[in-house]
Amino acid sequence: MGDNRRPFLVFNHFAGVGPPQKNIMEENNKLVVLFDNQPVRREWSQKDEKWYFSVVDVIRVLAQNERPRKYWDDLKRKLNQEGSEVSEKIGQLKMVAEDGKRRFTDAVDVETLLRLIQSIPSPKAEPFKLWLAKVGYERMQETIDPELSMARARKNWQMRGHSDKWIQQRMLSIEVRNKLTDYWADNGVEKADEYARLTNIIHNEWSGLTVKGHKNLKGLKQQNLRDHMTDAELIFTALAELSTRQIAQKEQAQGYGENKSVAHKGGKISGNARKQLEKQTGKKVVTKENFLNNPKETKKLSAN
């Protein structure tokens, strides 16, 4: 086990909908979040770029049980007997215990946590279950009508303070990206990690940074990097991916190996263009600007 968006209790950051109840809050200590004034520990994994949460703490809050560890042992045994996939996704991380020392405890990521909540027969779990049902219905509707998904994305970007110009560029970048991944899917790139590696090659060639390095520059963790790019960064990303797809089509690249070579070529075309622009303007294209602290300062971001 190792690393959008925020603590699991702030669901709107994960799925673009409001939180299930109004008394949700986050402490200044980022390793602890409060629900009904009860602490829930979490730990950030640099490897996976995900938050992991203490199962025992969640049990204590939702099951209202004075012996959460025993309750969890019994529930875990039941899940194992039922052959639930949830039990297979439980790992252990060191978190600060009541005595102040870091001790191993069962922990799960957000996806597994949401599934686990559904196994807890508690009145406090009901708001979460209802919320999950609502989100599931919305996702089903979006599958039937993809325009609903795009409309939701546009609304979320507007709420974050993005300009209409930026949103148009972001949606164009999605279209370019989808055409590239469609080509990969149709031509022998099958594994998820291969998509990630190819994307990283393209990104490194055009920007001079890995995807993770770019996120670090902007001070991002689990946030979507592209949602925090400037207009210029989006344009050069799109140019890199457009070039990669067109070269791949011309060369009829097949499989990861051939597409890896093409990824270097496509990314480099955008990288050379970036360097030429920087030479002419004296300004860096890749910046640390993001929408975390001053989401309303869209004009400032768009000017870079």
Per residue in 66-88, pLDDT (tens digit) is 788 898 888 888 888 887 777 77
Strands 102-109 vs 50-54: parallel, antiparallel or unpaired: antiparallel
In a domain, 89, yes or no: yes
Most confident of 111-125, 154-168, 192-206: 192-206
Tell me what pLDDT residue 215 has: 95
Query: Taking residues 167-175, what's their average pLDDT?
Result: 91
The residue from 110, 141, 172 where one domain ends is: 141
Structure confidence at residue 133 as a pLDDT band (50, 70, 90): low
95, β-bridge pairs: 103
Angle at 83 between CA 79 and CA 88, to 5 degrees: 75
More confident residue, 125 or 172: 172
Q: Which two tokens stand for residue 32?
A: 């602890």
Structure confidence at residue 120 as a pLDDT band (50, 70, 90): confident
53 closest CA partner among 101, 19, 11, 100: 11
The proportion of the chain whose per-residue pLDDT surpasses 90, expressed as a percent, equals 37
Residues 99 and 193 grouped into a single domain: no
Looking at the 3D structure of the chain, how many domains does it have?
A: 2
pLDDT tops 60 at residue 301: no
pLDDT tops 60 at residue 208: yes
Query: Taking residues 18-47, what's their average pLDDT?
Result: 55
Q: How far apart are CA 237 and CA 183, in angstroms?
A: 17
pLDDT tens figures, 260-282? 999 999 999 999 999 999 999 99
Least confident interval from 61-65, 136-140, 236-240? 136-140
Q: What is the pTM of this model?
A: 0.54
The residue from 141, 162, 192 where one domain ends is: 141
The proportion of the chain whose per-residue pLDDT surpasses 70, expressed as a percent, equals 74
Residues 165 and 295 grouped into a single domain: yes
Structure confidence at residue 19 as a pLDDT band (50, 70, 90): very low
pLDDT tops 60 at residue 20: no
In a domain, 50, yes or no: yes
Residues 234 and 115 grouped into a single domain: no
pLDDT tops 90 at residue 226: yes
pLDDT tops 60 at residue 228: yes
More confident residue, 118 or 125: 118
Residues 168 and 268 grouped into a single domain: yes
Q: Find the domain containing 63 and state its range.
A: 12-141
Residues 115 and 165 grouped into a single domain: no
Chain mean pLDDT for the chain: 78
Residues 114 and 160 grouped into a single domain: no
Contact 248, 187 (CB under 8 A): yes
Burial of 295 (0-12, 13-18, 19+ CB in 10 A): middle
Tell me what pLDDT residue 147 has: 57
Tell me what pLDDT residue 232 has: 95
Residues 169 and 238 grouped into a single domain: yes
Residues 98 and 172 grouped into a single domain: no
pLDDT tops 90 at residue 217: yes
What is the residue type of 164? D
In a domain, 165, yes or no: yes
Q: How far apart are CA 244 and CA 130, in angstroms?
A: 43
